[in-house]
Amino acid sequence: MPSNLAQYFDAVIPWGTRLAREMPLLEELAREAGREVLVPACGTGGHVVALAERGFNVLGFDADEAALDIARRKTEASASQISAAGGAAQLRQLRMEDAGSLGPVYNAAFCLGNALPGLSAPGQLLTALKGIAGALRPTGVFLTQNLNYDLRWRQKARWFPVLSGETAEEEVLLVKFADYEERFINFHAMYLARKKTGGKWESTVRTSRQLPLFASVLSSALQEAGFINLRLWGDYSRSPFDSEKSSDLLIAATRA
């Protein structure tokens, strides 16, 4: 992702609201599992910092160097809070498929923000899940949060709510829309930005191909990758997953 798009993405995410909703479950799972926490596809590092500030030793990794640059600035800005909590935050450029090279040393791994559907190349999803499994200790916990594609595939919604935010210099809008093929979803993110001092809106579109990760498909892939004891939830409050109603699909699993 180009650096300006990474900045724009970070600007439109309501991190305060998001972390208030997500962190109680993440912290509970991590405290039950152990202090060593892995965050695959960590993006701009919001979860890495939040977990480290709660005393966990966290490694966040992502394939996107521009996103990692923002994550590094966040960890540096929070260094005193992280140190006071007894935590640690590290960042690394790495693909999920290569996560097994980290060795079986982590107690928990959290892959959030609908990251897995973007692994659309043949065999890529399974290879990535095996990589994450290889980085976890036996009985380590893995949690992934994605959209409810059982519902999205039936509804085939094209347009989604507009997000807004700002960087130090620009106002930012994010317009999201999708096209549906026989087996994939083409997801388009159009960023609109203009200087706060005035000026014309300029647009940049980023398109990605997504797998419609139905609950049955993702569950099977997790089991094939070496995970057991799957628990399916519809939100971070651990409501039972309902393919007809839930907006999200969360799956918690244990490394066999």
Model's pTM, two decimal places? 0.96
pLDDT, residue 1, reads: 54
CATH number at residue 78: 3.40.50.150
Which residue do the tokens 């965050």 mark?
39
Convert the pLDDT of each residue in 33-72 to its tens digit: 999 999 999 999 999 999 999 999 999 999 999 999 999 9
Tokens representing residue 152 in the block: 């999205």
Residue 129 has pLDDT above 70, yes or no: yes
Residue 185 shares a structural domain with residue 97: no
Beta strand pairing status for 36-40 and 106-111? parallel
Residue 58 shares a structural domain with residue 169: no
Domain range enclosing 99: 3-148+212-255
CATH number at residue 176: 2.20.25.110
Catalogue the E-assigned strands of 67-157: 88-93, 106-111, 136-147
Residue 119 shares a structural domain with residue 219: yes
Residue 97 shares a structural domain with residue 37: yes
pLDDT, residue 199, reads: 86
First to last CA, the chain: 34
Sequence-separated (6 or more) residues with CB below 8 Å from residue 27: 51, 54
Residue 68 shares a structural domain with residue 97: yes
Residue 113 shares a structural domain with residue 230: yes
Whether the CB-CB separation of 60 and 70 falls below 8 Å is answered with: no
Convert the pLDDT of each residue in 190-246 to its tens digit: 999 999 998 899 999 999 999 999 999 999 999 999 999 999 999 999 999 999 999
For 1, the 3-state DSSP assignment is coil
Convert the pLDDT of each residue in 72-102 to its tens digit: 999 999 999 999 999 999 999 999 999 999 9
Tokens representing residue 131 in the block: 């990589």
Phi, psi of 101, deg, nearest 5: -65, -15
Domain count, the chain: 2
CA dihedral of residues 46, 51, 54, 57 (deg, nearest 10): -130
Chain center to CA of 216: 20
* CA-to-CA dists, residue 111 to 9, 37, 51, angstroms: 18, 11, 13
Q: Using 50, 70 and 90 to split pLDDT, how confident is the model at 4?
A: confident
Beta strand pairing status for 227-233 and 202-210? unpaired
Residue 191 shares a structural domain with residue 249: no
Cα–Cα distance, 55 to 36 (Å, whole number):
10
| Residues forming beta bridges with residue 89, ordered by sequence position | 58
Cα–Cα distance, 136 to 28 (Å, whole number):
17
Whether the CB-CB separation of 2 and 64 falls below 8 Å is answered with: no
Residue 200 shares a structural domain with residue 140: no
Q: What is the mean pLDDT of the chain?
A: 97
Side-chain-side CA neighbours of residue 6 (13 Å): 20
- Crossing angle for the helix pair 124-135 and 215-224, nearest 10 degrees? 50
Residue 118 has pLDDT above 70, yes or no: yes
Residue 111 shares a structural domain with residue 41: yes
**Secondary element (H or E) of residue 208:** strand 202-210
Residue 195 shares a structural domain with residue 243: no
Residue 222 shares a structural domain with residue 196: no
Residue 232 shares a structural domain with residue 116: yes
For 130, the 3-state DSSP assignment is helix
